[in-house]
Amino acid sequence: MNVQTIMAELKAKGNEGIKKILLKHGVKEPFFGVKVEDLKVIQKKIKKDYQLAKDLYATGNADAMYLAGLIADEDKMTKKDLSLWIKQAVSNNISEYTVPWITAESKFGYELALEWIDAKEDFIAAAGWSTLSSLVAIKQDDELDIPSLKKLLTRVLNEIDKADNRVRLKMNSFVIAVGSHVVSLTDDATAIAKKIGPVKVVMEGTACKVPDAIAYIKKAKDKGALGKKKKMARC
């Protein structure tokens, strides 16, 4: 498959109803409104293809960019590739999911996450916190810098109230991720969540609600899932 045939297939699978929903959730034009399940059908045909992923991402079409993340080869993605991808990720689904997922799976995950959370651009800072959340979910604890993560929890406590809307949301997700996936920091994350209290985020007219960090961590504990890791970040 090449870019032309894939773009034609994406256009054919576009759904106006899905597109309207995605527009409300911060996805920017151009895109067709393709369901993720349909993107995964194409993904299964391709599996991984480094160059095709880069070519699809370069189209600027949000559907193609999401698919690019699904087929990207994390072992071949360079720091330059990932840095370019985040700068071009103007849609929430790309900046907060696609790019953080593949970045976390790459060998530059922690390095770039720390760089991005300090970015002046809010969407890049949010991507940094999303990358950190993915990292703690897929990396074994002995691969993680636990003292550094503990300091980042404190940073969330100190900065979340004055952070941008989407950054605030992703900081909250980071607390949940650490508390759920890193057992040695579960108590720390829960304590931080209690000090922060309810996190207020403007959801731009959608029905989405901000996850309650304390409740989410407790749910993982009750299910016996604390410390459970994922095989991969992307989904």
Predicted confidence (pLDDT) per residue in 132-163, tens digit: 999 999 999 999 999 999 999 999 999 999 99
Same domain? For 61 and 21 the reply is yes
DSSP 144: S
Q: CA nearest 201: which of 118, 92, 102?
A: 92
Residues 204 and 26: beta-carbon distance below 8 Å: yes
Same domain? For 60 and 104 the reply is no
User: Is 26 inside any structural domain?
Assistant: yes
pLDDT for res 145 = 97
pLDDT for res 205 = 66
The pLDDT mean for the chain works out to 96
User: Is 38 inside any structural domain?
Assistant: yes
Q: Look up residue 60 and give its two tokens.
A: 């600027």
User: Is 65 inside any structural domain?
Assistant: yes
User: Is 145 inside any structural domain?
Assistant: yes
- Give how many domains the chain has, as a whole number: 2
User: Is 85 inside any structural domain?
Assistant: no
User: Is 88 inside any structural domain?
Assistant: no
pLDDT < 50: residue spans in the chain: none
pLDDT for res 215 = 97
Q: How far apart are CA 31 and CA 12, in angstroms?
A: 12
DSSP 95: I
pLDDT for res 207 = 75
At 23-46, the pLDDT tens digits run: 999 999 999 999 999 999 999 999
- Written as one letter, the residue type at 3 is V
pLDDT for res 46 = 97
pLDDT for res 59 = 98
Same domain? For 108 and 39 the reply is no
Same domain? For 194 and 100 the reply is yes
Same domain? For 141 and 223 the reply is yes
pLDDT for res 224 = 97
Same domain? For 101 and 177 the reply is yes
- The parent domain of residue 207 ranges over 95-235
212-221 per-residue burial string, b: 16 or more CB within 10 A, e: under 16: ebbebbbebb
